[in-house]
Structure 1
């Protein structure tokens, strides 16, 4: 609850109704000074997210260790005791991608190591390889060669319009950037656009749930709430693993504490993979066998769909490097 002083003026700033106590009886707005310090704004933001009480920690506990309980509670009408699904997802997303931005992984170092390993392997197999081959790591023909084939080559060697367009884009990128630069730009773009990808996936995830269950008993809205909670859980587990990796990584890769990070990552990954089954079984109330079969089918369908979207995203990112 806000600790800001109550205004002496008893007229509500929002609806102009007379306020006898702290909250306006007409619109519910708190009758406190509207001009606040940054400290008050930050505290108000955090209090608003956590519902001023223990709702935040209760929500996180249930989300992690009681699959589907939040969804069942929300749909049963118990909504003030927990964070709202959309607010929960936005909050976890905000913290996750803020930390990813502030503490990015050392991708450049890994790329340099991989490039050294690749170059060493190439040197073993072909002692005549020289630095000029760097621009041909994808083994594309030049546009001059392609245009020559399009003009003078055999019909079965010529590219159709879409293949020619993609080849032109690919050659432009590989001629302009090194392999290391492409990796860096792709990873930067991936993390920058990951929230958009997740938002695109969620409505389809809920749609597949809708297809697999009774249309009379369950509305699309119900599947949407389930999806929001499930994706919030996935992000939260990812956040925990990310924080543990960065924290224990401070002690060095060879530190005994690095094993703790590895254990947390292993357990978190297993829990992420298994979580959907108990959540599905408890929420939809179907038999274990039926729920298990549906969980497997939904996992396969959504995995294929996610791979399809990621492939489209990779293609889009690749051809739009600039």
Structure 2
């Protein structure tokens, strides 16, 4: 158990570092400085040879001084992970308390002091999943209901062989085989997924591989629900993976809903709405992180309190970004809460459909 915990913390730290570096890659860098930090001091750009007149080459954009020491390399790494060029400490307070001002400043072009919305979103998502993996429960499962992947693969292979034999017998008698074909297809896909995870030593529930009695009006979702019921651990693993990979899809899903609050407006455009949505998602992601950390610390009541924060935050962001009256911000906030729930539902359906594909 201790090994699992240490491994989870290690993976989480790796995710945080990866998220910071990914965000750093899309965040404009602010000027550099000279000093004895392992950086070279050139008069011409090492990339294109242009004479240098500032901290960056005005021809190709490369930094004027490049590092050539191991100490300087790790200095840059730590600077990128923990400082975000200092912008994050100016961005987060505004995001929390004056989100409308932050959004409007960025839209109007006053950006040098703040983390861009997409960079902050990337880092927030990385951080959220890192915290999730660090705080998730590693309790032992009931061994009467769970068996190792190696055993489950063998059992599914036996069941698959029996299904194929039944199908051959039914076909020989001229009986319909559509139901058996569907079961064979589902079992074949599940077998392939388990074989992919076998090397990881994951433990999965195979007590109800049939998944009978579960139906929906969306075929792909129906398949995903059946797989979730048949194999909750594997489905949960895939759900987390796809949610992590496609978290960016929440932005294009949410923007049309926000547009509906200002239909055919000539003052506000899709770009404005996209910046609004991205900063809003950043804040909501940070709320989830705080909730998870509080839960891990035994303060689950914090999550119940924070549940009421999103509508208030939406109100302040709407009013500050779009210059609305109190009444205009209130009714739009009420609609935005419902729109947000709809966007999350659409995202969940898409992710569940992916897990069933």
Map of 1:57 onto structure 2: 89
SS of structure 1 residue aligned to 2:46:
coil
Structure 2, unaligned stretches of length 5 or more?
Answer: 1-31, 147-155, 157-162, 195-204, 209-229
Aligned to 2:206: 178
Deviation by residue 1:35-73 (Cα, 9 ceiling, x = unmatched): 3424133134237x622x3x2112111111223221011
Alignment check: 8 A CA contact 1:6 1:31 kept: no
Aligned counterpart for 2:254 among listed residues 205, 221, 238? 205
* Partner of residue 136, structure 2: 105
Name which of 244, 262, 270 aligns with 1:220.
270
Aligned to 1:124: none
User: Could you tell me whether the CA contact under 8 Å between 1:108 and 1:184 is conserved in 2?
Assistant: no
- 1:286 shift after superposition: 2.9
Cα 1:17–1:228, aligned 2, differ >3 Å: closer, same or farther? same
Distance 1:174 1:85, change over 3 A: closer
Aligned to 1:193: 242
Q: Which residue of 2 aligns with 1:43?
A: 78
User: 1:1-322 counterparts in 2 under 5 A?
Assistant: 3=35, 4-19=37-52, 23-24=56-57, 29-37=62-70, 38-46=73-81, 50-51=84-85, 53=86, 55-101=87-133, 103-106=134-137, 109=140, 112=142, 169-170=185-186, 178-179=206-207, 182-213=231-262, 214-246=264-296, 248=297, 258=298, 261-317=299-355, 319-320=356-357
Residues 280 and 178 of structure 1: CA distance in aligned 2, closer, same or farther (over 3 Å): same
In the alignment, the residues of structure 2 paired with residue 294 and residue 168 of structure 1 have an alpha-carbon distance, to the nearest angstrom, of: 50
Residue 182 of structure 1, CA deviation: 1.6
Q: Structure 2 CA distance, aligned partners of 1:29 and 1:205? A: 36
My pick for the range that moved more, 167-176 or 13-22, is 167-176
TM-score by length of 2: 0.62
Task: Determine if contact 1:92/1:232 at 8 Å carries over to the other structure.
Answer: yes
Please give the secondary structure, in 1, of the residue aligned with 2:304. Answer: helix
- Conserved 8 A contact 1:107-1:184: no
The superposition leaves residues 261-283 of structure 1 with CA deviations (integer Å, 9 ceiling, x where unpaired) of 22322222221344223322332
Alpha-carbon separation, structure 2, partners of 1:173 and 1:230: 38
RMSD of the TM alignment (CA)? Answer: 3.8
Distance change in 2, residues 1:24/1:312 (3 Å) = closer
Q: Structure 1: where are the runs of 5+ without partners?
A: 117-134, 136-141, 249-257
Would the alpha carbon gap of residues 24 and 242 (structure 1) be closer, same or farther in structure 2, given more than 3 Å must change?
A: same
Contact 1:5 1:32 in 2 (8 A): no
Kindly indicate whether the alpha-carbon contact (under 8 Å) linking 1:22 and 1:30 is maintained by their aligned counterparts in 2: yes
1:125 maps to none
1:169 is displaced (CA, Å) by 4.7
TM-score calculated relative to the size of structure 1: 0.68
Offset, 1:232: 0.5
